[in-house]
Structure 1
Amino acid sequence: MENKNDNFKEKFLNYSPDEFPNGALVTNDSKIIVYVNSYFTTELLWKVDDIVGKNIDFLLTKPSCIFFQSYIVPTLSHEKMCQEMQLTIFNARGIRIPITVNAAVGEDGYVYWSFFNSSKRDQLYDELIKARERLIETTDELKLLASVDDLTGLLNRREMKYQSNLALKDALSEQHLAGLLILDIDHFKKINDTYGHLEGDRVLKKLGQLLTSQSEKTDLVSRFGGEEFLIFRPNTNKDDMLLFCKKLHVLMADIVVGTISLKGSIGVSFFSERMTFDDVFTQADSALYNAKELGRNRTEIYSNN
């Protein structure tokens, strides 16, 4: 039966390394170049007589020469071959060319080298790195968009619940008293109806900036929905929380709508063991309802009595 592989090998003998679109050279045991294929002339612009007989170090940049001596030569001595090594060589005009090299030691003791220009691969790698960086930036932007309120820049409802539950675990593990306040703008619908939604948006932004400026770095500040704002305070007590809320009432009055100072009602609750964010939110919401019932523009702390 005809052996197709033998037929191919017989045809292949009619070809030389000059037929292949990559560089090929042979060095002896003294690292002297004894053969180069036509790639050196057509692609690297060298004349054969300027290369053959020279030490291979002649072609290498200094860093590549160091790597060649310290790693490739020992590898060839021990393994008899090396694969996918990255080097940089000079063409005849002194231009640096990054290459990827494979080499093997033949039975005759000569080293047979093949390599290809990896400039495009390096360029593609750089483009992939840049694309990855752009993807990371886009992902971060999407995460940010998914976690903040687009009007005020504060945490949105979903992110507030998520981060508060994480902060709550830390506060309880360190036995810190943590509190949650809900602030609701009094008669906000009247502001929108009287002055328009643009004025309503301005008020929400100003209040968001106020809450952020008065909060600690460890506090979590959120526009929870509509005219409702939440602040989680991971290290506080009843007296500190009341002073903080009193300050907010005073400063809110500096936000003027028409001729009227802004007012708001606040409900406060404190976390205890085994409580979730939803538990303490329900309590603070109940306290907020009491503040509204008792005349608005005031702070009430939840009590189960």
Structure 2
Amino acid sequence: MKNNLTNIDPCFTLDNLPCGALVTDAEHVILNVNAYFANELYWDINLLIGHKVEIILTKASKVFYQSYLMPMLLHEKNCEEIQLSIVNGNGKRIPITVNAKVDANKKIYWSFFTASNRNKLYDELIQAREKLELQTKELKELASIDELTGLLNRREIKSRSTFVLSQLTSDQHPISILMIDIDFFKSINDNYGHTEGDRVLKELGRVLMNCGRKRDLISRYGGEEFLILLPDTDLEQAVIFANRLHNSVSTILIDGKPLTISVGISLFDEEMSFEEAVNEADTALYKAKDLGRNRTEVFSLA
């Protein structure tokens, strides 16, 4: 059989390789390097041959080389795609990928591939991931926040309330629920237009946020209705809170006249569902409307 070695181009040398190549002995001393180190890495080859390979490594890579790479080479006899950083002849740090193999005479044959493009791609992938995470967060917020008022939407308060109610009722903490409705809101839209109606909704959302605490769940429940869940709040405290709302809401003016709201309050019981507590607050709200609006009523079975 014809030996394949006879097919090797006699003009081929290690200097033809598009990567750095060098040979070290068992003492880590550089025995030979190719022209890549001079042409691409700006090293004077005479300054490399006869010196230990650590001369081209950064401080961090020297530690990695001594503590991990060499022990692995001595045990496995080869390594592939190890990430290191070297310095070129101008002192610039360059990320590289290293492959190495040990022969029977304990000589080590190294190849160095610059990984600048790989690192650039990695950085781009990181940036793309961060962008996707930000977009996912924004989409999640859009799915949970009422766009007009910035409050929680109906779906989100129902979702969050499940955890809050189960947590607090198990510890026997009182929880009050307020259902709020803007008085004569249809007339505002009819007489002043939907732009004015939207302004009123936004202003009311701002007032509710200013009056509430961080742990309170405040939502636009639908149309001109707003729902607030007040943890650690009994009925007496909830009524005080509602009265403060009435005063704050009156600062919102429509054609010079103060805005008014009607409020219904219910106290959550551990045996009832979120929907049942909301229905009780809604019943109290309708009572407030029937009694003339601009007032607060507490749910009662009587």
Q: How many residues align?
A: 301
Equivalent residue, structure 2, for 1:282: 279
Q: How does 1:164-175 map to 2 (within 5 A)?
A: 164-175=161-172
Equivalent residue, structure 2, for 1:143: 140
Q: Distance in 2 between matches of 1:145 and 1:152?
A: 12
Q: Report if aligned partners of 2:96, 2:112 keep a CA contact under 8 Å in 1.
A: yes
Quote how far apart the aligned CAs of 1:119 are: 0.8
Quote how far apart the aligned CAs of 1:13 are: 7.7
Q: Classify the secondary structure of the residue corresponding to 2:135.
A: helix
Is structure 2 residue 40 aligned with structure 1 residue 11? no
Q: Distance in 1 between matches of 2:273 and 2:6?
A: 79
Q: Give the letter aligned to residue 96 of structure 2.
A: I
Equivalent residue, structure 1, for 2:95: 98
Q: Distance in 1 between matches of 2:262 and 2:136?
A: 38
Equivalent residue, structure 2, for 1:61: 58
Q: Distance in 1 between matches of 2:210 and 2:3?
A: 83
Give CA deviations for 1:283-304 in whole Å, capped at 9, x if unaligned.
1111111111121111112222
Q: How does 1:260-275 map to 2 (within 5 A)?
A: 260-275=257-272
Give CA deviations for 1:205-230 in whole Å, capped at 9, x if unaligned.
11111111111111011111111111
Equivalent residue, structure 2, for 1:77: 74
Q: Distance in 2 between matches of 1:72 and 1:44?
A: 22
Equivalent residue, structure 2, for 1:241: 238
Q: Report if aligned partners of 2:235, 2:266 keep a CA contact under 8 Å in 1.
A: no
Q: Classify the secondary structure of the residue corresponding to 1:98.
A: strand
Q: Report if aligned partners of 2:79, 2:101 keep a CA contact under 8 Å in 1.
A: yes
Q: Distance in 2 between matches of 1:186 and 1:16?
A: 89
Q: Classify the secondary structure of the residue corresponding to 2:277.
A: helix
Q: Give the letter aligned to residue 70 of structure 2.
A: V
- More displaced 10-residue stretch of structure 1: 92-101 or 180-189: 92-101
- More displaced 10-residue stretch of structure 1: 97-106 or 63-72: 63-72
TM-score normalised by structure 2 residue count? 0.92
Q: Report if aligned partners of 2:170, 2:270 keep a CA contact under 8 Å in 1.
A: no
Q: Classify the secondary structure of the residue corresponding to 2:146.
A: coil
Is structure 2 residue 204 aligned with structure 1 residue 217? no
- More displaced 10-residue stretch of structure 1: 35-44 or 265-274: 35-44
Q: Distance in 2 between matches of 1:7 and 1:277?
A: 84
The alpha-carbon distance between structure 1 residues 189 and 48, as it changes in their structure 2 partners (threshold 3 A), is same
Q: Distance in 2 between matches of 1:157 and 1:119?
A: 50
Q: Give the letter aligned to residue 218 of structure 1.
A: R
Is structure 2 residue 211 aligned with structure 1 residue 182? no
The alpha-carbon distance between structure 1 residues 8 and 244, as it changes in their structure 2 partners (threshold 3 A), is farther
Q: Report if aligned partners of 2:77, 2:101 keep a CA contact under 8 Å in 1.
A: yes
Quote how far apart the aligned CAs of 1:16 are: 4.2
Quick one: which of 32, 37, 55 aligns to 1:35?
A: 32
Q: For structure 1, which runs of at least 5 residues remain unmatched after alignment?
A: none
* Amino-acid identity (%): 50
Q: Which runs of 4+ in 1 moved over 6 A?
A: none
Quote how far apart the aligned CAs of 1:40 are: 1.9
Q: Distance in 1 between matches of 2:210 and 2:119?
A: 48
TM-score normalised by structure 1 residue count? 0.92
Equivalent residue, structure 1, for 2:130: 133
